[in-house]
Chain A
Amino acid sequence: AQRVTQPEKLLSVFKGAPVELKCNYSYSGSPELFWYVQYSRQRLQLLLRHISRESIKGFTADLNKGETSFHLKKPFAQEEDSAMYYCAQRADAGGTSYGKLTFGQGTILTVHP
């Protein structure tokens, strides 16, 4: 079964410090990986997906198949980055999962001034 693990429920950093939110996945094929973010009182929204290789709001994430990881990084955290972050995976087209997303439990990031 697919599983996504986010080992940190809470992460606190100071403004301007680097931040890394960890994510490990279990699917052995070629999954598609995502990071979703939920700001206070807002809906869940896509932050980035690995196939697009975009950098959104200064965040990047690299898929490491050897370590089955997809950690989210930002070199200089901002107070507005404080939010709940979810890592999610979707199995590849060879499977039968269509659009099903499997989410991790989430990490609450707090950026202090």
Chain B
Amino acid sequence: DAGVTQSPTHLIKTRGQQVTLRCSPKSGHDTVSWYQQALGQGPQFIFQYYEEEERQRGNFPDRFSGHQFPNYSSELNVNALLLGDSALYLCASSPKTGWETQYFGPGTRLLVL
């Protein structure tokens, strides 16, 4: 089991563009959470997906949206990119309801120019 995988590893975009990040959860996990980690900061919760629905959302604008597929993989979409969206985006998966330990992926580093 490769654990949680994320793609791409790095991405460069310009302001105003849109980006899609992808996450495949650890085998046996059905819950996916997304976090944004700005440089020098701890991860901040964006939202969590379970049974293909957004179950909870952090303090992020509607420009941040997501999706979960029947195979439990997930996408994070960010529209109208701002310079401040530059960060490491982490995906975490967990089994059942998300109360179990969350396992993190390696992250996607997004740079907005």
- What is the interface of chain A, defined by CB distance below 8 A to chain B? 4, 6, 36, 43-46, 49, 86, 88, 90, 93, 96-106
Contacts and interface: CB of A to CB of B under 8 A. Distances in A.
B43 A99 contact: no
Contacts, number: 62
Interface residues of B, number: 29
Given A6-B42, A45-B104, A99-B97, 4 more contacts: A88-B42, A100-B48, A104-B42, A106-B41
B104 A105 contact: no
A35 to B, nearest CB: 12
Interface in B4-39: 4, 31, 33, 35
Contact of B104 (A43, A93, A98): A43
A99 B33 contact: yes
Most chain B CB atoms below 10 A, which of A99, A103, A104: A99
Nearest to A103: B42
